[in-house]
């Protein structure tokens, strides 16, 4: 019937029962006044029914709107509703932001993905290059991270259709023979046609298959094994979704992977907190032999796990697949060093943290299900885990024996990843002539400020007089060092420190100042 029709029908039935009771009471009492009131009520019920029939608004989603869709409306002013239906599990809509041309899909009014307008355009040699941001970064880099760990996969599965972009990207793998996209809500698949041609492979590629079923039921009944399974359901506060983040589900999903198969799990950091995210990581840690955690955007994590003893190293050459090059023709180029900047941690570095977690998300102890609605209401964020990518150096790298030196890219292809941005900022400061702005890459306030601070610093090093305040000078040096080498680990630029030591010697710096510089250098 649809949600609006169902609610209206229920209300009409309720009012009709009231009218019947009035008639019965009037007849039993013989009260003519009560009978007239009953007739008046019946006439009023007819007016309500007629008004419903003539004022039904099919152009608006019937479900209550959630905050993100309200944000879309407040930020852009006007939307064109491309599709809206009440499905058997949710109200699904696809809407176009008229000011930008971006299209997003929403479940019960809450956006589940937004595709930028330029993805619908063909590329030319003169096409502008854009940074990959927001939902697009997760929907593109998440499946690419999965594919990089299983580049020769032949059988794959995706949990959740959403915009269809994840399945579309995975189908660019020339070795893939079959991809099953499992979606419980048929209206989600219909609504995602609004993103054509950006997600064309999931609808047009003969290797693509839609499965309308609950993921747990489908895997249990199918008895089939896959080279990889990519799980990207909706948010855990949506009814029934949190069961796809439990230890029991991970225990079962391993059975549906081939030996040394890959399981990828999307976990968001917004509207949750560190405790809830850690309960999910603890469940993954408990059930999988090895895993790596990546950050495709500042608000999301992708966990890549294996049912084998060791997760293979990613093969970032997948960015050279013809289909991926075609898909990313509007984007700034991604290099292996840029993708390595998305690493957040691994079983080796994060294992002690999650092993110490007092709670594991489980079907029997559904911490995520019980807590997600509260954290969403409070608009909290898993700030601790996010901070692992926002520190001066990679805090997890030493535990894994990784050194991270300066990079060559001066503009981050995914600037919402804090470490990738910091590395690109340092490269731009070392080569200021490379800093450019375009219509798609506007002036960056932080970068402009850092460039000005760098010029003033170089002038100070060349000065013939010592600083007026050595404490202020040391803090300034710390800021410059962070601007230049943020995101690196185990690296000290020899020329940078030679300049500083020459300055200290020339101006006979106090021993305390030299001690601070020695400590930072070390």
Dihedral over alpha carbons 215, 220, 224, 226 (to 10 degrees) = 40
Query: Residue 107: beta bridge partners?
Result: 92, 110
Give me the mean pLDDT over the 441-448 stretch: 86
Residues 6+ apart with CB under 8 A from 132: 140, 141, 331, 332, 413, 414
Say if CB 386 and CB 419 are below 8 A apart. Answer: no
Distances (CA, A) of 142 to 29, 193, 295: 71, 21, 9
What is the architecture, at CATH level 2, of domain 134-387? 3-Layer(aba) Sandwich (3.40)
- Which of 63 and 2 is assigned the larger pLDDT? 2
User: Cis ω on the peptide bond leading into residue 197 (within 30° of 0)?
Assistant: yes
Query: Six-digit token pair at 176?
Result: 């893939």
- What pLDDT, on a 0 to 100 scale, did the predictor assign at position 244? 86
Lowest mean pLDDT among 44-53, 59-68, 180-189, 404-413: 59-68
pLDDT bucket at 140, cuts 50 / 70 / 90: very high
Given the structure tokens 């608000």, which residue do they identify? 299
% of the chain residues with pLDDT over 90 = 59
% of the chain residues with pLDDT over 70 = 93
Residues 6+ apart with CB under 8 A from 285: 291, 347, 350, 351, 354, 355
Query: Residue 305: beta bridge partners?
Result: 263, 291
Please write the tens of the pLDDT for every residue from 300-328. 999 999 999 999 999 999 999 999 999 99
Query: Residue 268: beta bridge partners?
Result: 300
Give me the mean pLDDT over the 257-275 stretch: 93
* pLDDT of 396 strictly over 60: yes
* pLDDT of 1 strictly over 80: no
Choose among 91, 94, 96, 95: nearest CA to 107. Answer: 91
Angle between the 32-55 and 3-29 helix axes, to the nearest 10 degrees? Answer: 170
What is the architecture, at CATH level 2, of domain 67-115? Roll (2.30)
- What pLDDT, on a 0 to 100 scale, did the predictor assign at position 483? 93
Lowest mean pLDDT among 24-33, 224-233, 330-339, 351-360: 24-33
Give me the mean pLDDT over the 76-87 stretch: 82
Beta strands 290-297; 208-212: pairing state: unpaired
- What pLDDT, on a 0 to 100 scale, did the predictor assign at position 235? 79
Residues 6+ apart with CB under 8 A from 5: none
Scanning 310-444, the segments in alpha helix (DSSP H) are 322-327, 336-340, 347-355, 367-378, 383-387, 397-400, 418-430
Query: Six-digit token pair at 273?
Result: 């907190």
- What pLDDT, on a 0 to 100 scale, did the predictor assign at position 53? 55
Say if CB 132 and CB 414 are below 8 A apart. Answer: yes
Lowest mean pLDDT among 44-48, 174-178, 200-204, 337-341: 44-48
pLDDT bucket at 373, cuts 50 / 70 / 90: confident
pLDDT bucket at 50, cuts 50 / 70 / 90: low
Give me the mean pLDDT over the 190-208 stretch: 95
- What pLDDT, on a 0 to 100 scale, did the predictor assign at position 49? 67
Residues 6+ apart with CB under 8 A from 119: 136, 198, 330
Give me the mean pLDDT over the 236-250 stretch: 83
Please spell the DSSP secondary structure of 343-375, one letter per residue.
EEEEHHHHHHHHHT-S----SSS-HHHHHHHHH
Distances (CA, A) of 321 to 136, 150, 171: 19, 14, 11
* pLDDT of 160 strictly over 70: yes
* pLDDT of 56 strictly over 60: no
- Which of 74 and 353 is assigned the larger pLDDT? 353
pLDDT bucket at 64, cuts 50 / 70 / 90: very low
* pLDDT of 59 strictly over 50: no
Lowest mean pLDDT among 46-55, 163-172, 342-351, 464-473: 46-55
User: Left, alpha or beta for 331 (phi > 0: left; psi -120 to 50: alpha)?
Assistant: beta
* pLDDT of 369 strictly over 90: no
Lowest mean pLDDT among 2-6, 356-360, 397-401: 2-6
Say if CB 218 and CB 183 are below 8 A apart. Answer: no
- What pLDDT, on a 0 to 100 scale, did the predictor assign at position 52? 59
Residue 275 burial by Cβ neighbours in a 10 Å radius (0-12, 13-18, 19+): middle
Looking at every residue in the chain, the average pLDDT score rounds to 88
């Amino acid at each position: 019937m649809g949600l609006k029709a169902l609610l209206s029908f229920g209300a009409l039935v309720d009012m009709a029962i009231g009218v019947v009771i009035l008639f019965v009471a009037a007849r039993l009492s013989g009260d003519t006044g009560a009978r007239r009131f009953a007739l008046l009520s019946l006439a009023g019920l007819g007016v309500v029914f007629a008004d419903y029939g003539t004022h039904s608004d099919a152009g608006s989603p019937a479900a209550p709107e959630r905050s993100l869709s309200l944000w879309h409306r407040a930020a852009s002013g006007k939307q064109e509703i491309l599709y809206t239906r009440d499905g058997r599990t949710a109200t699904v809509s696809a809407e176009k932001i008229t000011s930008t041309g971006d299209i997003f899909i929403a479940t019960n009014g809450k956006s589940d993905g937004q595709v930028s307008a330029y993805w619908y355009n063909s590329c030319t040699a003169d096409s502008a290059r854009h940074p990959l941001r927001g939902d697009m970064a997760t929907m593109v880099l998440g499946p690419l991270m999965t594919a990089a760990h299983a580049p020769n996969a032949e059988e794959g599965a995706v949990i959740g259709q959403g915009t269809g972009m994840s399945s579309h990207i995975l189908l660019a793998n020339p070795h893939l023979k079959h991809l099953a996209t499992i979606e419980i809500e048929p209206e989600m698949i219909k609504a995602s046609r609004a993103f054509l041609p950006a997600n064309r492979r999931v609808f047009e590629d003969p290797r693509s298959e839609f499965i309308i079923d609950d993921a747990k039921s489908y895997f249990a009944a199918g008895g089939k094994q896959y080279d990889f399974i990519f799980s990207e359901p909706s948010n855990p506060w949506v009814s029934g979704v949190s069961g796809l983040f439990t230890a029991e589900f991970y225990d079962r999903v391993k059975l549906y992977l081939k030996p040394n198969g890959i399981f990828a799990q999307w976990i968001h950091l917004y509207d949750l907190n560190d405790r809830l995210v850690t309960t999910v990581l603890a469940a993954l840690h408990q059930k999988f032999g090895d895993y790596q955690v990546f950050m495709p955007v500042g608000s999301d994590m992708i966990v890549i796990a294996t049912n084998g003893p060791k997760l293979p190293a990613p093969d970032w050459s997948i960015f050279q697949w013809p289909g991926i090059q075609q898909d990313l023709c509007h984007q700034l180029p991604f290099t292996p060093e840029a993708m390595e900047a998305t690493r957040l941690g691994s079983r080796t570095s994060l294992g002690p943290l999650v092993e110490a977690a007092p709670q594991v998300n489980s079907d029997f102890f559904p911490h995520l299900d019980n807590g997600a609605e509260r954290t969403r209401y409070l608009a909290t964020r898993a700030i601790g885990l996010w901070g692992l990518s926002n520190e001066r150096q990679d805090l997890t790298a030493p535990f894994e024996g990784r050194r991270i030196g300066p990079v060559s890219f001066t503009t981050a292809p995914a600037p919402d990843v804090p470490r990738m941005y910091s590395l690109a900022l340092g490269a731009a400061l070392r080569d200021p002539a490379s800093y450019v702005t375009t219509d798609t890459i506007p002036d960056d306030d932080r970068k402009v400020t850092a460039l000005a601070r760098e010029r003033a610093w170089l002038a100070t090093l060349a000065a013939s007089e010592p600083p007026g305040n050595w404490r202020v000078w040391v803090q300034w040096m710390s800021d410059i060092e962070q601007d230049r080498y943020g995101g690196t680990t185990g690296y000290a630029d020899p020329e940078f420190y030679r300049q500083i030591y020459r300055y200290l010697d020339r101006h006979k710096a106090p021993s305390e100042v030299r001690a601070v510089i020695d400590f930072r250098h070390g």
